[in-house]
Amino acid sequence: MTSTAKMTYGPAADEILLSSGRPARPRTWGRLSRPLGLLSLIAGLVAAASVGLTIVPAELEAGRYLTDTPAGYQVSVLLALTVLLLSSLTGLAALVTGIVSLVRRERKVPAIVGIASAALAPVLWFAAFFIPVLIMASLAA
């Protein structure tokens, strides 16, 4: 019998067997969940706070409606809303990847951080927008 052996420097990922006999799977879901959740949280906070800090002075100067404000400000608000939409989608991806990571029993801490940051992000966005608006509106009145 002749066998042809390949020249390899280590076993391939599908050749590594666990103690149960199953092939090892890469642990990438937990690694994805944490950065996606934190990106969602931070990007949404920046977008919400930027609009929350600037909307009261812009409306006092130009008018009550967004269409009364200058075109440049309207574009910046629409850009911030786009960032919030993308942050929402990123947070949803963080929730899904975190849950998949927990179900597959891969990495618990990054998955929990990703799930928690994605779940808390909308609450913090709301606060980052409305607290400055309420403070500035009360000072302007």
**Model pLDDT for residues 65-115, shown as the tens digit of each residue:** 888 888 988 899 999 999 999 999 999 999 999 999 999 888 789 899 999
**Model pLDDT for residues 45-66, shown as the tens digit of each residue:** 999 999 999 988 888 888 888 8
**List of residues 6+ apart from 129 with CB closer than 8 A:** 48, 49, 51, 52
The domain ranges of the chain are 29-140
pTM of the model: 0.75
Q: At 14, is the secondary structure helix, strand, or coil?
A: coil
Look at residue 36 and tell me whether its pLDDT is greater than 60.
Answer: yes
